[in-house]
Structure 1
């Protein structure tokens, strides 16, 4: 790894200006939703295709790639991506928050079986891309439908249900709430996310979920910087995920302009990415378990965090214009910046337009998760005191 002394340092905010936990939770969830909606309409395309289609880089909310033909145009039909509509990344994030609202404690794979599956198959919500109220199951991707297939119909052990699914960013994309409930404790966020994600993913897809949650938790540490977030991610990341993050972020530190960083970041992550150069025509080895590979989305999100120096617009627009799975990249990048800087970092005009277009109260999920985070911390503190008391009794004779 590059020695810390040689890394670009971004000044830490002063203690007096550091956002509160409540503000960071709101900023992270709003920031994630905005990033998701910005990236949705250009998902799956290359930076060059984005440049040609939009006559320049995407600098804000844009319409569907195929205009009014979005209902029938392949390969996106029948989803209305664009015009400020959030995608399944946000739908899954909010569903997980509703699970936290019911359990009001740390989650595990059994919470996915007992609570998330019923959310997906039995609780209709407004689906912006379908312009209708429907069950989340009718929108989520096949890799997420796997959760329902395995747990509801297959009766698989929740801790093992992720085995056999394609290995992608599906579990990682909605793990920000785990990082926020474990704010300022990256190791705990990593462990909880791995447990939750075991019902959904395996291999480096599950690992990415843990590392992303750790990054969000690290962003909540008072005085955190983009570099400290990356370092926290590297502290927990294993195998190809750690190697990919290291390679991409070392490359990212040479740039402060996302335009010049687009090709270098793709080149840095390419050896670890199984999908291959053509995102819509994956290689034969794509999305298979491996200790040598990584999902593309998380390393690039962390790379753009460094390129953008923690500025929301620069970071998230870099993620959006990277193309490929850019709604998930921008979701992750937006969640981390929001946790670092608070809600004020997220452009108000974007947040307002996306909330209106998606018929989404972007603050309600944050209020629920904030209350849960405070309750869980109190429970953790009480559990810790019980442990300390027991340990003291156990060691009293040794003193």
Structure 2
């Protein structure tokens, strides 16, 4: 396997596995998770609520049992758009390609256990995108304004990092443009930073430190402050020797991100000002994911499991942590038994998706390289002319 395919495989496998494992614990506290499962989760588990079909009518989804969620559905849909366009994307491609996929192309939805539209699985922030763009005909660059500010756009931005392999700044810029169709404020900002993290992770010889440095370099406002606070807290935790209590790292990270999180401590009983635009706030998921990646030196198994046992928005946190770790370590970094079990349970042809994304990365990288050479030649000629 070549380096590009290995890194693509690591990112997509890590993201899918994190999503599937984290879905089973989403919305609960570490204490509730341990009580439900007789201790910390160490792999694929069943639904938190056995009566999942009726327990939460607003979200009648079969989470757990290796089922991927909307994080993976949207990630793979975006890959389909890249495969069709074979170039860098922007907000207009969300309108022309991604939204139609969401509302016209049935596929197997693991949590619904049936063929359905992506629209019928995604939650309100993603339905907003469809309503604004397809029915409201809003300029795609501005369609995210007014939406719930959350991690909805961030959760599927890994492909943007892959097509900008080794160039975090370019990944950030592309994701910011593309995500404008879905999110605004710190929800859009986090999408850019996560794409930058993936681009940094899959760069030649990249380290965990390189990923963290890239995120700090491109981030702004509350997102930057939240990331820096979490990274500092993790560094302090490690310098102090860590803790024998496996829950303590999660507590340290939660305390660090809490001042920037608008949802509040009661995840299912959000504060009145939750998820509103702000220059001083951040989504919780990305800084937390980065904290687990840093704390475990890019170890995918450890980072994913800590994200799963963190609770709250655990599927998105684990998706991000798994993708970054997979980007750093490649396919071998992600536990193979998890990958095969998740692919089987979700009826996911992950290998085909990996091949498709690898081909896209090669095509886009080749075009980028040709443009870079042409531009360099043009600039050299202009500079030489200026010296005459």
TM-score range, shorter chain: over 0.9
CA distance in 2, matches of 1:91, 1:109: 19
Work out the number of aligned pairs and report it. 381
Measured on the aligned residues, the alpha-carbon RMSD in Å equals 1.4
Name the residue aligned to 1:371. 359
Cα offset, 1:144, TM superposition: 0.6
Distance 1:222 1:370 in 2: 16
Question: Quick check: 1:19–1:341 contact (8 Å CA) kept in 2?
Answer: no
Unpaired runs of 5+ in structure 2? none
Is 1:28 paired with 2:3? no
Q: Which residue of 2 aligns with 1:322?
A: 310
Query: Matched residues in 2 for 1:388 and 1:218: separation?
Result: 23
Structure 1: distance between partners of 2:62 and 2:354: 25
**Counterpart secondary structure, 1:218:** helix
**C-alpha separation between the residues in 2 aligned to 1:294 and 1:28?**
24
Compare 31-40 and 142-151 and name the one that shifted more.
142-151
Structure 2 distance, partners of 1:138, 1:22, is 32
Aligned twin of 1:58? 41
Structure 1 residues 261, 51: CA separation in 2 closer, same or farther (over 3 Å shift)?
same
Equivalent residue, structure 2, for 1:131: 113
Whether 1:266 and 2:254 are equivalent positions in the alignment is: yes
How far 1:363 sits from its partner (Å)?
1.5
Match of 1:193 in 2: 175
Displacement of 1:48 after TM fit?
1.0
Deviations 1:232-271 (A, max 9, x none): 1000000000000000111112245653201111000000
Distance in 2 of aligned mates of 1:191 and 1:236: 9
Alpha-carbon deviation of 1:362? 1.2
Could you tell me whether the CA contact under 8 Å between 1:30 and 1:363 is conserved in 2? no
Question: Which of 82, 99, 117 does residue 100 from structure 1 map onto?
Answer: 82
SS of aligned partner of 2:12: helix
2:202 — aligned with what? 220
CA drift at 1:394: 2.7
> What SS does structure 1 have at the residue aligned with 2:5?
helix
Matching of residues 329-348 of structure 1 within 5 Å: 329-348=317-336
Give the structure 1 partner of residue 342 of structure 2: 354
Deviation at 1:76, TM superposition (A): 6.8
**C-alpha distance in 1 between matches for 2:174 and 2:334:** 27
Matched, 1:203 2:185: yes
Deviations 1:203-248 (A, max 9, x none): 0000000000000111012222222211110000000000000001
Number of the residue aligned with 1:285: 273
- Hey, what's the Cα distance between the residues in 1 that align with 2:208 and 2:10? 15
Give me the whole-angstrom Cα distance separating, in 1, the residues matched to 2:219 and 2:18. Answer: 24
Moved over 4 A (4+): none
User: Which residue matches 1:381?
Assistant: 369
CA distance in 2, matches of 1:307, 1:56: 21
Q: Distance in 1 between matches of 2:382 and 2:132?
A: 43
Length-normalised TM-score, structure 1? 0.93
Q: Contact 1:70/1:76 (CA < 8 Å) preserved in 2?
A: no
Q: Return the offset for 1:307.
A: 1.3
Q: Are residue 83 (structure 1) and residue 75 (structure 2) matched?
A: no
2: CA distance between counterparts of 1:331 and 1:229? 16
1:4 maps to what in 2? Answer: none
Give the drift of 1:146.
1.2
Moved more, 165-174 or 359-368: 359-368
2:146 aligns to what SS in structure 1? Answer: coil
Partner-residue secondary structure (3-state), 1:133: strand
Q: Is residue 26 of structure 2 the alignment partner of residue 43 of structure 1?
A: yes
Cα distance in 2 for partners of 1:251, 1:75 equals: 38
1 CA distance for matches of 2:178 and 2:357? 16
> Paired residue for 2:98?
116
Closer/same/farther in 2, CA of residues 365 and 146 from structure 1, 3 Å limit = same
Decide which moves more: 176-185 or 256-265. Answer: 256-265
| Change in CA separation of 1:181 and 1:305 when aligned onto 2, cut-off 3 Å | same
**1:44 Cα deviation from its structure 2 partner:** 0.4
Q: Structure 2 matches for 1:237-316, cutoff 5 A?
A: 237-253=219-235, 254-255=237-238, 259-316=247-304
